[in-house]
Amino acid sequence: MHDAVTTDALPTPEQMRNYLAAAKSAQKARRLQEASRAIITGNIAAAVCLMESALVVQHAGWTSNTGRMLVLDGVIFGYIALAVLSLRWMKRQRSWSSVYVLDQFEAQRVPAKRVRAVAMLIFVFMALGTAVALWTIDVNRLSQSAIIAVLSVAPLAAVVFFVCRFVMFRFWEDLLFAAAVALAYLSFPFQAWHLAPLCLATFPMVIVGTVFLHFRWVRWHRASAIQNDESVSEEVRL
């Protein structure tokens, strides 16, 4: 197809500069792609914080048994509604703009295929249902430390996830999400129920993180829209 360049020579300073410039642009693209999906990151953080807060509220004795069930149902359905609304809002926002970027999963149009999307949702709910059922059966046979160890897996994984994201993308918002998850779960392993109200502070933290992350994208988007204003109108004429 092409004549390949065979070389034994070391790269020239100009070639090194080109490579570094490409690496810098790639990093910028990676960061912007993540910032454009702030709502998804925020939803992940919110889901984990909700899970941990529900656990803490259940054990802190804030409500009666019936009250607990109502709170849990409200939390689950409220979260699902919030996730659906957020994703719809993100989709609409993208359709308005001429500057957009999709990750590889989205670009393969997996969620666009309804049957696959529904199958994925059914699988997730069945997996969750099975986990809850197994937990209910086994919870009485487990020791207190084993229960704490099992329940610590999700918040630990979430904290590691957000810290890794911080290392990769250098967004301080990821550290805020990690802190929110840790704060939501803090009172459970130490059984320090007087710290339970702290879990309420995690939601403003998640909201603040999501808003700031989203505004990184908005700021860049506006700046590039001004810069490309002439380019866009040229593209219309094409």
DSSP 204-229: HHHHHHHHHHHHHHHHHHHHHHHHTH
Considering only residues 133, 191, 197, 231, which one is a binding residue for other proteins as defined by CB under 8 A? 231
Residue 234 touching other proteins (CB under 8 A):
yes
- The least distance separating other proteins from the CB of residue 195, rounded to whole angstroms, comes to 41
Residue 1 touching other proteins (CB under 8 A):
yes
- The least distance separating other proteins from the CB of residue 157, rounded to whole angstroms, comes to 25
Tell me how far the alpha carbon of residue 71 is from its chain's centroid.
Answer: 24
Q: Decide: 162 and 174 in contact? Cβ < 8 Å.
A: yes
Compute the distance between CA of residue 56 and CA of residue 139 in angstroms, rounded to an integer: 17
| Residue 64 structure tokens | 């009666």
Residue 28 vs 133, nearer CB to other proteins: 28
Compute the distance between CA of residue 181 and CA of residue 11 in angstroms, rounded to an integer: 47
- The least distance separating other proteins from the CB of residue 211, rounded to whole angstroms, comes to 22
Q: Residue 200 to residues 30, 62, 68, 140: CA-CA distances in angstroms?
A: 32, 13, 16, 29
If phi > 0 it is left, if psi is from -120 to 50 it is alpha, else beta; for residue 154 that is alpha
Q: Decide: 48 and 184 in contact? Cβ < 8 Å.
A: yes
- The least distance separating other proteins from the CB of residue 14, rounded to whole angstroms, comes to 8
Residue 137 touching other proteins (CB under 8 A):
no
| Residue 232 structure tokens | 């866009």
Residue 10 touching other proteins (CB under 8 A):
yes
Q: Per-residue x/- marks for other proteins, 29-48, CB under 8 A? A: xx-xx---------------
- The least distance separating other proteins from the CB of residue 230, rounded to whole angstroms, comes to 8
Residue 130 touching other proteins (CB under 8 A):
no
Polymer length of the chain: 238
Residue 4 vs 115, nearer CB to other proteins: 4
Residue 92 vs 141, nearer CB to other proteins: 92
Q: Per-residue x/- marks for other proteins, 71-110, CB under 8 A? A: ------------------------xx-xxxxxxxxxxx--
Instruction: Report which of 124, 120, 85, 123 is spatially closest to residue 105, judged by C-alpha positions.
Output: 120
Q: How many residues bind other proteins (CB under 8 A)?
A: 47
Q: Which residues bind other proteins (CB under 8 A)?
A: 1-8, 10-11, 16, 18-19, 21-23, 25-26, 28-30, 32-33, 95-96, 98-108, 220, 224-225, 227-228, 231-232, 234-236, 238
